[in-house]
Amino acid sequence: MRTIAIANQKGGSGKTTTCVNLAAALGEAGRRVLMIDLDPQHSATAWYGIKNAGKGVLGIFMDNARLEDFIQAAAAPGVEVAPSSAWLVGVEKVLAGEVGAETILKRQLDRLPPDRWDYVLLDCPPTLGILTVNALAAARELLVPVEAHVMALSGLAQLLHTVEVVRDRLNPDLKVTGILACRVDSRTRHAREVVERLRERSGSLVYRTVIRENIRLAECPSFGQPITQYDPKSAGAADYRALAQEIMEQERG
Ligand SMILES: Nc1ncnc2c1ncn2[C@@H]1O[C@H](COP(=O)(O)OP(=O)(O)OP(=O)(O)O)[C@@H](O)[C@H]1O
Ligand SMILES: [Mg+2]
């Protein structure tokens, strides 16, 4: 079981789009995926059309509930979801200063049956607060989506610093598994330059696959479907399938 946090404190970098569609592409390839939504905006939960989530993952942070008890099947083959809800918005305040708060999710993941899923993907909110730190403490891998704009690169150093701190104090196993360029408009020179600069800086950490700007990706949340179902022949579906292949290849060494 690979546990991959999808995080970037910069808002709108493509975290949720990547989490939902990578999960679906891995599921389509025959892998079993658990997607955990850690964002109080609960956009990944809504994307999969889940409405009866109750308090969702808040339960594990506030009521000591078991993660396993509220996992739901998603409409996409192979994908299950631990939903989020707006209730989660208060969690930062409630957990501030509580002993062991950063490792609540880790203890939950350690309890999951190890062979039920091949991948656990964690969709993080756009902050470096307690929820994202929980994800970084619980996961072994971090996937960082970055929007292909110069501005978007500046936050990367801060994120990588946080990763260092988490590694030192909470999770020595955490490694950056890949940086993913998202919303790449290949018609513009700017986007190409940003991707080049990213490769110069972070080298082999950057996935070969880039996610192109594709309007179909922006449309599909309203239809409660991942791109692989909403428009299986779109560029967005092709890109997320390519990413899934690249991620599965990482296992071959
Ligand atoms: N490749 C793409 N092509 C077109 N639109 C995209 C693409 N990727 C993401 N978007 C759009 O960009 C916006 C931000 O994407 P997304 O919600 O995935 O980012 P996020 O990092 O999860 O945001 P937040 O920080 O708010 O959680 C959304 O409106 C989404 O539909
Ligand atoms: Mg999001």
Q: What's the mean per-residue pLDDT of the chain?
A: 93
% pLDDT > 70, the chain? 99
12 lines ligand 1 (CB under 6 A): yes
Range of the domain at 10: 2-252
Average pLDDT over residues 130-150: 94
Pairwise CA distance, residues 93 & 89, whole Å: 9
Does ligand 1 lie within 6 Å of residue 211's CB atom?
A: yes
CATH number for the domain including 88? 3.40.50.300
Give the separation between CA 80 and CA 174, rounded to whole angstroms: 24
Q: What ligand is nearest to the CA atom of residue 147?
A: 1
Which residue's CA is the nearest one to ligand 1's atom 25? Answer: 11
56 pLDDT tier (thresholds 50, 70, 90) = confident
Please report the pLDDT score of residue 113 as a whole number: 92
Inter-residue long-range contacts of 233-241, CB under 8 Å, 24+ positions, other chains counted:
236/21, 236/211, 236/212, 237/21, 237/25, 239/209, 239/210, 239/211, 239/212, 239/214, 240/18, 240/21, 240/22, 240/24, 240/25, 240/211, 241/25, 241/28, 241/29
> How many other CB atoms are found less than 10 A from the CB of residue 164?
10
Is the beta carbon of 217 within 6 A of some atom in ligand 1? yes
Confidence of residue 46 (pLDDT cuts 50, 70, 90): very high
For ligand 1, whether the C-beta of 210 sits within 6 Å is no
φ, ψ of residue 97 to 5 degrees: the values are 80, 0
Burial of 63 (C-beta count, 10 Å sphere; 0-12/13-18/19+): exposed
**Please, what is the Cα angle at 79 between 77 and 80, to 5 degrees?**
135
Q: What are phi and psi of 127, to 5 degrees?
A: -145, 170
pLDDT at 64: 86
pLDDT at 6 over 90: yes
Q: Which residues surround ligand 2, an ion (CB under 5 A)?
A: 15-16
CA distance 179 to 248: 15
180 alpha carbon to ligand 2 midpoint, in Å? 15
Pocket lining: 17 vs ligand 1, CB cutoff 6 Å:
yes
- The CA distance from 159 to 20, in Å, is 22
42 CA from centroid of ligand 2 (Å): 8
Which atom of ligand 1 is the closest one to the Cα of 19?
A: 18
Pocket test for ligand 1, best of 15, 17, 146, 234 (most atoms within 8 A of CB): 17
Share of the chain above pLDDT 90, in %: 75
Residue with tokens 């600069």: 197
**Ligand 1 atom at minimal distance to the Cα of residue 41:** 27
Dihedral angle sign, alpha carbons of residues 200, 202, 205, 211: negative
Mean pLDDT of 193-202: 90
pLDDT band at 131 (very low <50, low <70, confident <90, very high): very high
Say which ligand is closest to the CA of 221: 1
How many structural domains compose the chain? 1
